[in-house]
Amino acid sequence: MEKKRCHFSFGAKPSPLSGKSLLYHDTRWCKPEHRDGELFAMLVLEGMQAGVNWDLILSKEENFRRAFDGFDPNIVATYGEEKIEALMQDRGIIRNRNKIAAAISNARAFLKVQEEFGSFDAFIWSFTDGKTIDHRLSDEDQMPAKDALSEKVSAELKKRGFRYAGPTIVYSYLQGIGVINDHSVTCEFR
């Protein structure tokens, strides 16, 4: 018997999930993440997603992980022009100079947050006192693109020098790391 899932895609047109999107929905989306490495990875991926379909990002995720040295912020923070040029030639990723530069500057900002708070995890989860905000949606049409929390987190990230961290991207990021749970109430993967 098929399990009940949210009925939407991570793209523009609602549809049943398949492939990598299905795996992402079932195992990662809205699931609490506390490993700093994965918190940074999701931050980069969400920034790369701006203006493109999340399904495309998921299809290229392994390439992104390889190209960005496993999303190690200590390594990404050291990238210079030579590495940027190499990334701009990598057909396996989104080749957008502004997004690549943002990933580098975000790695530097990420490391500063780690220094200040002991971990990025302590920082990002402090906005909800370590608790997941469960919207208990009965209909995916109720899911906002942004909310007061994403506005607050976005403002704080921007103040700390993060780029590609607007409220809509941050809302998606907070879902991706489980700070927000927007699985429908009927979804068996809540």
pLDDT of residue 173 exceeding 90, the answer is: yes
Q: How far is Cα 94 from Cα 89, in angstroms, rounded to an integer?
A: 10
| pLDDT-based confidence at residue 24 (cuts at 50, 70, 90) | very high
pLDDT of residue 16: 53
Q: Residues 30-181: name the CATH superfamily.
A: Hypothetical protein; domain 2 (1.10.340.30)
| pLDDT-based confidence at residue 11 (cuts at 50, 70, 90) | very low
Q: Around 60, how many Cα atoms within 13 Å sit in the side-chain half-sphere?
A: 20
User: What average pLDDT does range 173-181 have in this prediction?
Assistant: 97
| Domain residue spans of the chain | 30-181
Helix (H) or strand (E) run with residue 134 in it: strand 133-134
Contacts of 2 by beta carbon, 8 Å cutoff, 6+ apart: none
Share of the chain above pLDDT 70, in %: 94
Helix (H) or strand (E) run with residue 181 in it: strand 180-181
Active site residues: 24, 46, 54
Contact 80, 86 (CB under 8 A): no
Helix (H) or strand (E) run with residue 187 in it: none
pLDDT of residue 61 exceeding 50, the answer is: yes
